[in-house]
């Protein structure tokens, strides 16, 4: 099962890379453990839906809400600010951070001042 997930992830990365390179945008891939994270362009928070469709991109500084909640397998923060992720799990995702687990997301937003995510 691990090799199937790895192949699926590689295919998603390839599709995302082809799309970004075709538009001339720049970005980097980050590592999560030993596996490569889904490609996420610099300046975006990327949410990878559970069933392998294209990532949902949220531009740095923007907020996104999902109703019904979006079921994701990975959230990557390629921005320069910490983001608050709320849903089945509530957490702060630092700049350059990636979380990989199956969960639901109700919203993502830049962390407010004074620096705490409120559920």
Q: Name which of 77, 58, 65 is nearest 104 in CA terms.
A: 65
Tell me the pTM.
0.67
The CA-to-CA distance between both ends of the chain, in Å, stands at: 34
- C-alpha separations of 109 from 9, 17, 23 in Å: 26, 25, 26
Q: What is the pLDDT of residue 116?
A: 85
pLDDT at 47: 97
pLDDT in tens, the chain (119 residues): 444 444 444 444 444 444 443 433 333 333 444 444 568 999 999 999 988 779 999 999 999 999 999 999 999 999 999 999 999 999 999 999 999 999 999 999 999 988 788 76
Give me the pLDDT at residue 102, please: 93
DSSP 7-67: HHHHHHHHHHHHHHHHHT--EE--EETTEEPPPEETTEEEEEETTS-PPEEEETT--EEEE
Region for 20 from its dihedrals, namely left if φ exceeds 0, alpha if ψ lies in -120 to 50, beta otherwise: alpha
pLDDT at 4: 43
């Amino acid at each position: 099962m691990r090799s199937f997930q790895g192949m699926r992830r590689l295919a998603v990365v390839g599709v995302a890379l082809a799309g970004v390179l075709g538009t001339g945008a720049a970005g980097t891939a980050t590592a999560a453990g030993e596996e490569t994270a889904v490609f996420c362009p610099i300046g975006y928070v990327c949410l990878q839906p559970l069933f392998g469709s294209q990532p949902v991109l949220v531009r740095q500084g923007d907020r996104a809400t999902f109703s019904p909640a979006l079921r994701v397998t990975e959230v990557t923060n390629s921005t320069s600010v910490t983001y608050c992720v709320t849903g089945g799990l509530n957490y702060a995702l630092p700049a350059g951070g990636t979380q990989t687990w199956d969960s639901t997301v109700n919203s993502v937003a830049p962390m407010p001042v004074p620096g705490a995510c409120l559920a």
